[in-house]
Amino acid sequence: MQRYALLLLCFWAISSQLPTEAAIASADNKAEFTTLCKIARLGSKVPTLEHAPTAIGQDYDELMQLNMTLSPETWRKIFWDPQTAGKTLQSMPKDKGYDKSWEGKWSKWAEAEQAKKDNQALKTKLTQMGFNKLTPYQKSFTKTTINKLAKDVETLKATIDEKTEAAKTPTPEEAAKALNDAIFGDGSGATVTFAPNKAFSTNPTGNRESRCTGNVANNNAHSVSAVLLCICAGEAGEDPAGVCTGGTAYGNKWNNGGGLSGAGAWTDVFASCPHTPEAKLTATHLRSLISEILSQVKFIDDAGYIGAFVAGDCKGSNTQGVCVKYSDHSPTTPKDLKTLQWIRKLDNLANQLEAREQAAATITAAVAAITKLNEEAFNTASDATHLTEQTAVTVAHTTSNQKTSAEEQNKCAKFNSNDTDCTTNGCDYDKTKKECKPKPGTETPATGKQSGGTGATTTNCATHNDKTKCEAENTTSQTPVCGWRKGKDGETEPEKEMCRNGSFLVNNK
C-alpha cells in the first residue's frame, strides 16, 4: 500500500512539470476589440470638430466707428474721396505726406468712417449713453480713453485674423479622409467602403498568418480594419467562437486556404462593434484611444502581439493565435509603436486637431475681450460726467479752507494791541507793527482757477485777448503756462488763434 502511494506521488510530481495544453477562449480579445471598435466607428462619416466664432460681431465695428466719431472733423475729412461724393478712400494717398505707419490701418479707419455715416443705431446708442451731453473737456477725456481701447481692439482683431486659417484646418472633410486612411487604408473620400486590398498592404489572398505578421514599420495589417479582422474574424475548421464578442461565431470566415475576399468577414466584425454616442472629435479623445490600444500590445516571448496567442502563428486557430504579430518588437529591443502606419496617421490627425483647437480657443478669448472693451468704451461718457462733480467737490473744499483762514485772520486781529493775549491764543505778535497775525501755514492760500487735483493752481489763460499779455504769463524757469495758438482736440473753437492753456495735449488718432 505504501509502495502504491509512493508511485502516485511520483506520478503527480512528474505530471505537474509537463506543459498544460491551452486554447484560446471566448472573449479573450474583447478588450482590444472594444478599443479598436471605438476607432472604427469614427470612419466613413464627417466628424464634428471644435470651431471658432465665424464672425467677431458688431462690437469691433462699433468701437472703431465710435473712435472715429469722436475724432476731429479735420482728421475724418482726409478719408473721403474728393472725386467721388459719399465714398471713402480705401487706400492711403501716396502724395499727402501722411505717416507711413498709417498705411496698414488706413482701410480699417476708412471703413469705420464710411460705416458710421449712415449708422443710425450708433447715433441712437451715443445719445442713450450720454455722449451728446458732454462738454468739450469731457469729450477730450473720452476720446483719449477710447483711442487707447481702439488700439487694443485692433491688436485683438489682428490676432483673430492671424488665427482664422489655423482654426479651419483641418476641415471636417479633411479629418474624415485622414480617419478613413487610418481605418480602411483608403483616404480618397469622406465616406469609403471596406476593400481587402486597401485594408492590408498586400491583398490577403494567401495564408492568414502572412497577412497578420510583420515588422512594426511595415506590417501587412496596416489599418485598423485589418487589425480587427486578424484578431476577430472566424477561421474555417478552427474557429475560436466569440473570441472578440463572447457570443456566437461569425457566419463569414477568413478561410486560410483561399484567403480573405470581399467584405463579408468585415461586415460581420464591424456589425458586432458596440455603438458609441456621437461626440465632437478632439485631439484629446483621439490620443486617449491611441494610448488605450498601445497599452494592449503585449510581449510574448520575443515578439509583440495584439490579440490572443498560444503558440505557432497568428493563423486564426484556437490552438495557435488570433492576433497580429510584430516580429521586431521584443522586450530587449522594443520599437516605437507610434511608427505603426495606422497609429502614425491617427497621431498626425490629433496634432492637427490640437492646432485647430488652440487657434479656436485664442479667437474665442479675443472675441470676448473685444466685447468687454466695447462696453468699457461706451461707458466712458458716464465716467466723464464725474469730472464736473469732482471739480465741484474741489471748489467746495477750497471755499471751506478760505472760510477757515478768514476766521483765523479775524481771531488774531482782535489782539493787535495785546502781545500776551495774541500769543496765548495761538497767534504771532509783530511788535514793530503792533499787529497780531495767524501763524505761518494758517493764512489764506492763493486762489486761482484749478485744473486737476486739489491744491493745484493755474492761470486762466483765456482771460487774455492780447498775444503779448498771453505770453507774458510764462517765465524762463517754468513750463509754459499759456500759449497763443489754435485749439487742439476737445478745446473750443479749434480753428481760432487765442490764448490757451499751454499744457493741454490730446492725441487725435
Q: Which of 70-74, 333-337, 378-382, 431-435 has the lowest mean pLDDT?
A: 431-435
Q: How far is CA 403 from the centre of its chain?
A: 59
What is the C-alpha to C-alpha distance for residues 498 and 486, in angstroms, rounded to an integer? 7
Band (pLDDT 50/70/90 cuts) for residue 168 is: very high
Which pLDDT score is estimated for 393? 45
What string of DSSP letters covers 30-67?
Answer: HHHHHHHHHHHTTSSSPPPB----S---HHHHHHHHHH
pLDDT at 273 over 90: yes
The confidence score (pLDDT) of residue 195 equals 95
And the C-alpha cell for 420? 500776551
* C-alpha to C-alpha distances, 31 to 278, 308, 317, 462, nearest whole angstrom: 21, 11, 19, 88
- pLDDT tens-place string over residues 195-215: 999 999 988 887 899 999 999
Across 347-376, average pLDDT: 97
Instruction: Name which of 113-127, 185-199, 316-330, 359-373 the model is least confident about.
Output: 113-127
Contact yes or no for 182/224 (Cβ under 8 A): yes
Taking only Cα atoms into account, the Rg of the chain, rounded to an integer number of angstroms, comes to 43
Helix, strand and coil content of the chain, in percent to the nearest 5, comes to 50, 10, 45
The amino acid present at 7, given as its one-letter code, is: L
The DSSP element (H or E) to which 407 belongs, if any, is helix 380-413
283 C-beta neighbours (distance < 10 Å), count: 19
Nearest by Cα to 244 from 40, 484, 508: 40
201-204 own/partner pairs: CB under 8 Å, 24+ apart? 203/259, 204/259, 204/260
Count of residues making up the chain: 509
Quick check: helix, strand or coil at residue 309?
strand
Average pLDDT of span 141-156: 94
Which of the given ranges, 250-264, 360-374, 464-478, has the highest pLDDT on average?
Answer: 360-374
Region 331-358: mean pLDDT is 98
- Alpha-helix residue ranges (DSSP H) falling in 189-280: 196-199, 208-211, 224-232, 264-271
**Amino acid occupying residue 313:** D
Quick one: 249 exposed, middle or buried, by C-beta within 10 A (0-12, 13-18, 19+)? middle
Q: How far is CA 47 from CA 126, 188, 289, 345, in A?
A: 45, 16, 16, 16
User: Cα dist. 422→345, 405, 449 in Å?
Assistant: 99, 17, 34
pLDDT of residue 95: 87
CB 276 within 8 A of CB 36: no
**pLDDT, mean of residues 370-390:** 86
Closest to 49 (Cα-Cα) out of 288, 293, 359: 359
Please say if the pLDDT value at position 323 is more than 90.
yes
pLDDT value of position 390:
46
Whether the per-residue pLDDT at 464 is higher than 90: the answer is: no
Arithmetic mean of pLDDT, 428-450? 60
Q: What is the pLDDT of residue 6?
A: 38
Task: Kindly give, in sequence order, each residue whose CB lies less than 8 Å from that of residue 100, ignoring residues fewer than 6 positions away.
Answer: none
Burial class (CB in 10 A: 0-12, 13-18, 19+), 363: buried
CA neighbor of 297 nearest in space, from 264, 346, 334: 334
The 10s digit of each residue's pLDDT in 184-194 is: 999 999 999 99
| Residue among 194, 237, 229, 183 at smallest CA distance from 208 | 229
* Crossing angle of the two packed helices 341-378 and 380-413, in degrees rounded to 10: 40
pLDDT of amino acid 57: 73
